[in-house]
Every structure is written in C-alpha cells, then in structure tokens.
A and B are shown apart, each in its own frame.
Chain A
C-alpha cells in the first residue's frame, strides 16, 4: 500500500510455543495489518495467534557492536553445566 507503514509479523504456530517472526507487510493500521497477515502468512493453518508490530518500533542491536556485546560470553565456559567434570559414580547431578 502506498506509503503505508511496514509491520513485522509474528505467528504462534501452536499453544505452548512462542510467537516467531515470519516476515513483514504494509498496512495503514494495526487492524488491517492483522487482516493482511492472516491472508499472507497463515493460508495453511500455520498459526493460532498473530502479532503485528510496527517495524519502526523495533530497536535492534548494532551489528558492528556484535563482538563487544557477545564475545565476552564465549570466554565464560563455566556458565555451561558441561564445564564441570563429575566422577562417573555421581548420579542425578
């Protein structure tokens, strides 16, 4: 639609799962975005619930800062349970 805002579409495929991003579309308002999302993204029973969020309302981390943000996690292997070696005879731990 001419000049109408862009919306990101999230669909929850089944109860118990989280909504996942499936794509985007244009629509003048949230109600029409939901209607369009139903036609564009759930023609084959892909979902039980839809969220639409204006793309301009999403704030993303900067790809250039990827290392500064995420690199420190990699040298803390002790955060993973598998870091700790257990004697074979220990059970249920």
Chain B
C-alpha cells in the first residue's frame, strides 16, 4: 500500500472516529433532562450508537497499522482534529432535535459515498454507520416536528435551534472546493467520490423542503429556489468562523477535550481492573489444567 494513501486514510478515519466520540458530549448533556422517559431511552440509545461508531472506526484505522493508544493520545493532546460541529453548545432540548435532523443528515450525506470508497474496512464500517444514522436523523426530525406543532414557545425553541445549527451544519462538508487541501488526492484514490460543494448543495436541496414541513424558516435571506439550476441558491458561509473553530477557538473546544481527558482518566481504574481480572483468571485456568 502506498504510504501517502495509508497516511491519508489514517488521518481521515481517525478524525472521523474522534468526531463520533466527542459527538457524544453535546447530546449526552441532555440525557438527564429529556422531556419523557421514552425520549430519554431513545437519546441514550443514540449516544451509545455514537460510541459504537467511534469503535468501528478506530478498529478500521488500526488495520492500517496505527495503534489505538496512539489514536487516543492524538485526540487527548489536541494533535488530532474532529468535526467542528461538536464545538457548539446544546442550549435547549430543541438542540437535540436539530442535531439529529441536521447534523446526522449531513453526516449521512457525507458517509453514503464513503460506503463505496476504495478501502474495504472503512467502507464496511460506513455501511453499518449509515444504517444506524438513519434512526438518528428520524428521531431528530421527530423532536423538531413535535416542538414545531406544539405551543408557540416550543415552536420558537425549535426555530432558535435551527437558527443556530443551520450554518455550522453547512460547514460540516468542509471548505469550498477551491480551498480544500486534501480533495484532489482523495478523489484520485477513490476515497472521496463527490466534492465538498456538491454534497453541500445536495444537503441544502434535501433539507429546505423538510424545514417547510416543519413550518420553520431557514436563517438565510439569500436562500431561494433557482429554477434555472434546479437547485437552491444559498448565502455566503462564514468561513472565518469555520477556521476559527478548526483552530480551537470555537465556543466549546476546550470544554470538549477537557471532558474527554477527564473521562479517560476517570475510567483508567476500569481498564486496570479488567486487565487484572483477566490475568487472575488466566492463572487459575493454568493451575487447574
């Protein structure tokens, strides 16, 4: 396998894994405050799925010869990136709906082509993840639908969540094609099959009619249907904000990593106990033989 191909895959798959792991935090924030027992059970299942997705992806990255310890270390020491979207705060319950509806839809849009990418272990992980993300997307839309058909206050809460999550969701597709650093190689190696701007346009075209069903308006005065192109035109994305969040100056970058480090350190005793238990039982098995 050519070195550059391997390196690109390790970078991309591990960033993807880190995103799933960090992505548990914004929604995990609302588990204890979910509005009903059913919503709580659904949200726990969704957050557990994100952990599972992280694990499938770390395993896929490990097949390329980078150990799990190295990958985790890179995340905890800020050497690895993860999706900028998870550096925004979840201020209300409606944010859980908006994340499922927008962020998970955008993720699926990105990931469906990856299920046919040139590296088998990544492609297979993607197939599985996309199936599970479909549940995430629908549960998010269901929350938005319930709120938007609720009291005026609930509808306003849904609108406020859409206002805050719409633009960061568009940024999830990465920089414009003209500035995308890794795109050309990834296309050539069939890791990436569609450009950032192509996928972003598809996401807009798919999502605007869904907002209409919700009776919510997109926070973009320049958004309108362009019959000539057969697509929605939309306003300018604030790429300065995107690069600020990439560099670490998003609203929650520091908090997310600190929380991850604390969870990793607080869980150390579990790993140690499991190892000690396995060693003890292995010794007993030998003695009994």
Enumerate chain A interface residues (CB-CB to B < 8 A).
1-4, 6, 23-29, 31-32, 39-40, 43-44
CB distance from A26 to the nearest CB of B (A): 6
Residue on A with the closest CB to B276? A28
| Residue pair B56, A23 in contact (C-beta under 8 Å) | yes
| Residue pair B274, A1 in contact (C-beta under 8 Å) | yes
| Residue pair A29, B56 in contact (C-beta under 8 Å) | no
Q: Knowing A29-B281, A29-B282, say if A4 contacts B56 (CB, 8 Å).
A: no
CB distance from B287 to the nearest CB of A (A): 16
- Determine the chain B residues whose CB is within 8 A of the CB of A26 once the complex forms: 68
Inter-chain contact total with CB atoms closer than 8 Å: 47
CA distance A47 to B230 in the complex (A): 44
- Which of A6, A32, A39, A40 is close to B278, meaning CB atoms less than 8 Å apart? A32
| Residue pair A1, B275 in contact (C-beta under 8 Å) | yes
| Residue pair A23, B277 in contact (C-beta under 8 Å) | no
B52 interface residue (CB < 8 Å to A): yes
| Residue pair A28, B278 in contact (C-beta under 8 Å) | yes
CB distance from A19 to the nearest CB of B (A): 16
| Residue pair B278, A2 in contact (C-beta under 8 Å) | no
Residue on B with the closest CB to A5? B278
Q: Which of B249-288 contact A (CB under 8 A)?
A: 271, 274-275, 277-279, 281-282
CA distance A32 to B277 in the complex (A): 10
Enumerate chain B interface residues (CB-CB to A < 8 A).
45, 48-49, 52, 55-56, 59-60, 62-63, 68-69, 124-125, 132, 271, 274-275, 277-279, 281-282
Residue on A with the closest CB to B285? A29
CA distance A23 to B124 in the complex (A): 9
CA distance A39 to B125 in the complex (A): 16
| Residue pair B278, A43 in contact (C-beta under 8 Å) | no
- Determine the chain B residues whose CB is within 8 A of the CB of A39 once the complex forms: 48, 52
Query: Could you list 11 further interchain pairs (A-B, Cβ under 8 angstroms) beyond the known A3-B275, A23-B125, A25-B55?
Result: A1-B274, A2-B275, A4-B271, A26-B68, A28-B275, A28-B278, A31-B281, A32-B274, A39-B48, A40-B52, A43-B45
Q: Knowing A25-B59, A29-B281, A40-B55, say if A4 contacts B125 (CB, 8 Å).
A: no
- Determine the chain A residues whose CB is within 8 A of the CB of B49 once the complex forms: 43
- Determine the chain B residues whose CB is within 8 A of the CB of A3 once the complex forms: 69, 275
| Residue pair B59, A2 in contact (C-beta under 8 Å) | no
**10 residue pairs, one from A and one from B, having the closest CB atoms:** A28-B278, A29-B278, A24-B59, A28-B274, A28-B275, A1-B271, A2-B271, A40-B55, A23-B59, A40-B52
Q: List 20 A-B contacts (CB under 8 A).
A: A1-B275, A4-B271, A4-B274, A6-B62, A23-B59, A23-B60, A24-B62, A24-B63, A25-B55, A28-B274, A28-B278, A28-B279, A29-B278, A31-B281, A32-B278, A40-B52, A40-B55, A43-B48, A43-B52, A44-B132
